[in-house]
Structure 1
Amino acid sequence: DAKAAGKVRNIGVSNYEVDMIQGLVDATGVAPAVNQIGFNPGNARSRRTIVKYCLESGIAITAYGSVRDQTTKDKVSKLAKLHNATGAQLLLRWALDQGVSVIPGATSEEHISE
């Protein structure tokens, strides 16, 4: 209703799966401009379907939690060292290379400078 009334230009959703987006479109005729999801190498396989669907449908993906992946920590550390980067830099670059934007969160000045 807000979009139809001209009160907003776009809508965004968070943690929507394909069936939820399709339900939204069916009910309102409006597709979200963006779907914000947790996305990192540790969960990439399970997120493949929603990422592919959104990108093919013109729905941007914004990833949160991209640097929180503990399942690949050792591998990330080795690759980061090889590329003269930090683990956070490597993981953020990986997410961008998947075609998604990222929301990097930082809890310290050191992390912000990375």
Structure 2
Amino acid sequence: MFELLKNEQDINHFLQNEDLFFLYISKYNCSVCHSLLPQLEPIMERYPRIVSRQVIVDEIPALASKFSIFTAPVLLLFVNGKEYLREARFVHLDQFQSKLDKVTLQFSGGF
């Protein structure tokens, strides 16, 4: 299960200190968010170099503007603190995993 981040400072810490950082942004009353999470967790376990965390945007409303969030869930992958990959709402997990494979292969030599 992804560790739940509770404030913007924790998110900023990971953005500044992790080469590969994945953030799963969800909402409390979002059925898609709740059904996607258990499917996503085993996929992310295949990528131990990617630090994965979850945040509930209802608890930190400032994130909606910080990351231009208009729907949920949102899957964000950051490389060296910069957004590199974004998926939102209805995510095709096989395509998402393929993108993760390419990213980790592309950046495997640099980390």
Q: Same fold (TM over 0.5)?
A: no
Q: Which has the higher contact order (CA 8 A, sep 6+)?
A: 2
**TM-score w.r.t. length of structure 2:** 0.22
**TM-score w.r.t. length of structure 1:** 0.22
The structure richer in strand per residue is 2
